[in-house]
Each structure stands twice: as structure tokens, then as C-alpha cells.
Amino acid sequence: MISYPKEKINVLLLENIHQDAFDLFQKDGFNVRALSYAMNEEELLKEIESIHVLGIRSKTNITEPVINKAKRLLTVGCFCIGTNQVRLEEAEKKGIPVFNAPYSNTRSVAELVVAEIVMLARRVPDHIQNTHSGKWNKISKNCFEVRGKTLGIVGYGHIGSQVSVLAEAMGLKVVYYDTQTVLPLGNATPLNSYEELLSVSDFITFHVPENENTMNLYGKKEIQLTKKGAYVINLSRGKVVDLEALAEALKSGKIAGAGIDVFPEEPESNNDPFITPLQQLQNVILTPHIGGSTEEAQKNIGTEVASKLLKFVNNGSTSFAVNFPNLEISPIPPGSYRILNVHKNQPGFLKDINAMVSEIGANITSQHLGTSAEIGYLSMVIDKSVGDELKEKIEKHPGSIKTRILY
């Protein structure tokens, strides 16, 4: 049991989050509502005041005004890999941990990358279009096996390294570049520079997050450094590749083909129009952000993120939160209260709390504190008889941000 009745805890799941996530919340007794679409800021501002747990995918943006109005919001779950759609620092300052699923769609994305490598090398996009339009064009010119070719992976994280394993099994030579020192899998070779990777790779695939360092990571300058006749694949983030520059390179023949799954601006719904400079170009695969859109991936993501959210709401654990001190917390002992407090990370706060405990003659069974630059996150188990009184005292402390009690 938790101090606040579960049936009064409102869970809102947006953007067609998998049914398994809905079922987990419902089975645990929460009041859960699921919608198939994303919400814009105006719609969220109307809803957010009554929401305790919010689940989103990549199209719903949690802006600063939304966070400021979210008085009851306990946590946010991003049912995807990325979290750049959430103002993480603002959420942290308001005591709102954010969780995601960094591993669950790894295989789905990696498989699509390898499939596109083969299709581009064989010019399958052009053959499909020709055959559908009634044109029979059986040729072998400019169609190649991928065995023995070099794949350059930019970003050797969870997905990049899995692409590496699959590609090597196909007979590709794999090289990679990452800003961090990462242990290679199989026979993959790390390179000293991004520029070197561009110059030696027959295929280039990007697996990087979206941030100020990766914005237009592949543009006119990088295209000039790229090996002539190479193929470019981006299933990471839409602003990583300059699509205007890529379109010109495809038209000139500098780049032989491309597979693009993510775009700088994407439609809010399946009913909205979509325009990109890459449309109607030869040997180009365009897909509507489906890299992780498999039944297996969405099911795994639904279960992973929902489980993290439930664990936080039910016992306070913040393990794997992306913007919060990570605390793995054990179940609450019988007859005890757990007080969870988020506070400004300032000297003397814990001393003040312990003084409050001493004043009311309480006994601390266990106490855990995690901190970041901005906040501290405190978990404290005390006698049930003094829990409510101590919670009220902690809430009144000038450094306190958010306090809740579990039993």
C-alpha cells in the first residue's frame, strides 16, 4: 500500500504506448488512460494539473511551462530511447525523475540498418519503383555485394555495437568512431577521427544522440570528405544529417544512396503531409521513423519503462532515471513509513532533517541520500507513529522541493 490511494493516482499514456504498459498500471490499481496521439503544449497545459504519471514517446514535448504547471506530477516515462523531448533540468529542479528505455529497441534498429545496407548496395529502391510502374530493368551495373566492403559506424553505443556484430556476420569490415573510448566487439576497429572514418567507409551509419555537438554532424563539409560512391544511413536523430546537402550530393553522384528514417521536422500524426528534399531521388530509402517500431521492441519498451515508473511510485527507487540521483531502494519494512524528499543540494539539509527526527524522538531504521549538482534525493524509513508529523516538518524546510510518504 502507498499513502495516497492508487485508484486516485492518474496515469496518462500518449502516442500509442504498448498495451502491456497500460495493463501493468491497471493491474496495480492505478487510474490509467491511454491515447493514440501526441499532445501539443496547449493540450498538455489543460491536462497536466491532474496527472501524476505521464508516459510519452518522441513527439510529445514536455516544455518548461508544462513542468511548472504540473503540480501533481511525480514522474515522466519516455517510452523510447531519446529524452531530448523533455526539459530534463527543469524536471529535476521540480523533483520529477524521467525514465526511458535505452536498450529495448536495439535489435530492431540494428536489423533495419543491415537490411538497408544490402538494399542500397543492390539499388533495390530503384528496382522496386521501376517494377511497380511496369518497367522491367534487370541490370547488374552499380549493384554490389556487401561482403568485403567497409562499414563506418559513427557512435558505438548500444545500437552501433549491435549493428557492428550483425554487419560483421554479413562479411563487412567494420570501423567505428566514438567520442568515448569504447571496447570493440568482434573484429571492429576503432578509428582516431571522424574524418578518417568518412574517407575509408563504403557505408556510413549514424547512431548518436541529439545535442549541440551532433547538430548537422553530416553536412557539406563532411560530404566532401566522404569516399565517392559511399552510402549514408541515419536512423538516429533527424537533425544529425543536413538533408539539403545530402540531396545535392545524391544528385551529383558523390553519394550513391541513402537510407533516412528520421527527419528534422516530422508530422504530428499519420494524417499530416510530409515533405523532404530527398523525395523522388534515386536509390533513396525513406521511412517514417520506424527504426524501433516492431511488435517486439514496443512490447519490451512498454514493459521496461512501465516497470521503472511503478517501482518509483510504489517504493521510491530511481534506478536508471536519466536526470535524477539513482537510488535502488528495498521494500518498506512492516509497521514503518518511508519518507521520500527532494531538496535543493545545499549544505546542512541532512543535518536539519536529523535534528527534526531527534526532536520528536523518532528512530531512523534506514536512510539513503543521493545528490546531483542541483538536488538531493533522500529516502528515510522511520516509525509509523511519527511519520505524518515528520513529513509536515520536512515540507516546511526552506530547501525542500517535494516530499511524499509511503507505507
pLDDT, tens digit, for every residue of 218-261?
999 999 999 999 999 999 999 999 999 999 999 999 999 999 99
Q: Which helix (H) or strand (E) holds 362?
A: none
CB of 101 within 8 A of CB of 77? no
d(CA 149, CA 105): 26
Alpha-carbon Rg of the chain, whole angstroms? 25
d(CA 307, CA 313): 10
d(CA 301, CA 58): 13
CB of 338 within 8 A of CB of 106? no
Tell me the per-residue pLDDT of 93-137, one tens digit each, with 9 for 90 and over. Answer: 999 999 999 888 999 999 999 999 999 999 999 999 999 999 999
Tell me the per-residue pLDDT of 343-376, one tens digit each, with 9 for 90 and over. Answer: 999 999 999 999 998 888 888 888 999 999 999 9
| Cα three-residue angle 70-293-169, rounded to 5 degrees | 130
d(CA 108, CA 289): 12
CB of 57 within 8 A of CB of 21? no
- In the structure grid, which three cell numbers stand for residue 175, read together? 570501423
Return the biggest CA–CA distance within the chain. 87
pTM: 0.84
d(CA 164, CA 252): 29
CB of 21 within 8 A of CB of 44? no
Which residues lie closer than 8 Å to 17 by C-beta, 6 or more apart? Answer: 34, 55, 57, 79, 302
- Domains present along the chain, CATH in parentheses: 7-100+294-324 (3.40.50.720), 105-286 (3.40.50.720), 328-406 (3.30.70.260)
Side chain identity, residue 368: H
Burial of 28 (0-12, 13-18, 19+ CB in 10 A): middle
Q: Which helix (H) or strand (E) holds 343?
A: strand 336-344
CB of 321 within 8 A of CB of 313? no
In what order do the strands lie in the sheet containing 400-406?
A: 364-371, 375-383, 336-344, 400-406
Tell me the per-residue pLDDT of 189-224, one tens digit each, with 9 for 90 and over. Answer: 999 999 999 999 999 999 999 899 999 999 999 999
CB of 138 within 8 A of CB of 122? no
User: What is the number of other CB atoms lying within 10 angstroms of the CB of residue 399?
Assistant: 17
CB of 230 within 8 A of CB of 203? yes
The DSSP-derived string for 294-323 is: SHHHHHHHHHHHHHHHHHHHHH---TT-SS
> CA torsion 190→192→197→198, rounded to 10°?
160
Which sequence positions are flagged as catalytic? 237, 266, 289
Side chain identity, residue 19: Q
Mean pLDDT of 309-318: 96
d(CA 309, CA 364): 26
Side chain identity, residue 362: A
Mean pLDDT of 138-146: 94
On the question of pLDDT at 2 being above 70, the answer is no
Tell me the per-residue pLDDT of 37-89, one tens digit each, with 9 for 90 and over. Answer: 999 999 999 999 999 999 999 899 999 999 999 999 999 999 998 899 999 99
